[in-house]
Amino acid sequence: MNSFSLLIKPASADCNLRCEYCFYIQHLENVKSTPRMSDEVLETMIAGYMQTNQNNNYAFGWQGGEPMIMGLKFYQKAIKFQKQYAPSGAVISNGLQTNGTLITDDFARFLGEYKFLLGVSLDGPEYLHDYYRKTKSQKATHNLVLRGIDYLRENKVEFNILILANNKNVRKAREVYQYLREEGFYFHQYIPCVEFDENNNPESFSITGEEWGNFLCDLFDQWIKEDINKVSIRLFDSILEYLVYGRYNVCHMDKNCCQYFVIEYDGSVYPCDFFVRDDLLLGNVLYDEWDVILKSPIYHKFGQEKSKWHQICNSCPFINLCHGDCQKFRIGNLQSSNKLSVLCNGWKKFYTHTLPRFRVIADRIKNRYEINSLSQIKSKKVGRNSPCPCGSGKKYKNCCMR
């Protein structure tokens, strides 16, 4: 059975905020009552996942909407079920993406105790963040987010900052970056805001490919000055992961979209949270076994659409770094997925500007790793049949020793 992780929507799209650019909120239109995951769905989902072969590593991602709207008791139950159904020696990881406004001291203490990794949405300094990220009553949220982060810090909870590059902050990469640095936030994830209306025209808050490219170039120029070893930017880390190890750890870079499953509040299973649609419903954790869902023709067809990129991509020097980009950014539907990503020219500008320097950094990492590995071998810390230091899970003689 292939390894996979779960992206869980326990409250579906329900949220205490009403961010104008939210792509998921529309799912509430099809929900007749308040969407909340029941204990039955929660337990069945966890028990079933723990019975699959994941090399004893089980990854749960809690998202929304706003997942913290479920309350602390819900996650206490989740931990109880994880402990109850975990196979011997299992390593369990929990990630939670939140707007940060509902974090309390008690909640943060629990998250710290069970080593949750949080992603907290913050679009930059107050005037940029509050432009779109408002409560239902249209009140600003920046100060509420910083209060929540203070609770995380006090309880030693690890967290990343999630920044959506939208039409208001996309020309201010340096300002956003410096603000986060000054606040002591050293783990960043930048996400392009690209949404289409019913006629496949970009929404007003979306960015263009050119803007995305300029944003990333400005970001890189700030980062490379003196922050290579201090600030972690997920996209940059992923590029280096590929250059050093040949592995992809973000889905938009890979050539197949069969990587994780979305679980909605009622147990419904989908292949991607950008594509929670009736025609892509794969099953339900209450009734369907995981081996059946994994073999679903709908799932595999969806995954294979990623590789049906535009013919221009075949001659692109950067094809191995995007494989046509996320299907969401290809204008049209799954029947016309071979269109160019709207961000294509931005990616090209970014990689043209940065890839030579990324390769220099990657070579330094390789050299440092080879020296460390050689040192370990000479001191008999790593033998031919020992696990490879790179973390691949293979024996050293079958991996980096070759």
Q: Do 102 and 70 touch, CB atoms closer than 8 A?
A: no
Q: Are strands 268-270 and 283-284 parallel, antiparallel or unpaired?
A: antiparallel
Compute the residue count for the chain: 402
Indicate which residue of 105, 273, 288, 363 is catalytic: 273
Q: Do 106 and 72 touch, CB atoms closer than 8 A?
A: yes
At residue 308's C-alpha, the angle toward residues 302 and 312, to 5°, is 155
- 25-34: long-range pairs with CB below 8 Å, 24+: 25/65, 27/276
Quick check: is 254 catalytic?
A: no
On the 0-12 / 13-18 / 19+ scale of CB atoms within 10 A, 39 is: exposed
Task: Pull the structure tokens for residue 308.
Answer: 């049906």
Which has the closest alpha carbon to 126: 172, 87, 95?
172
User: 234 Cβ partners below 8 Å, 6+ apart?
Assistant: 160, 187, 188, 189, 190, 250
Residues with catalytic function: 273
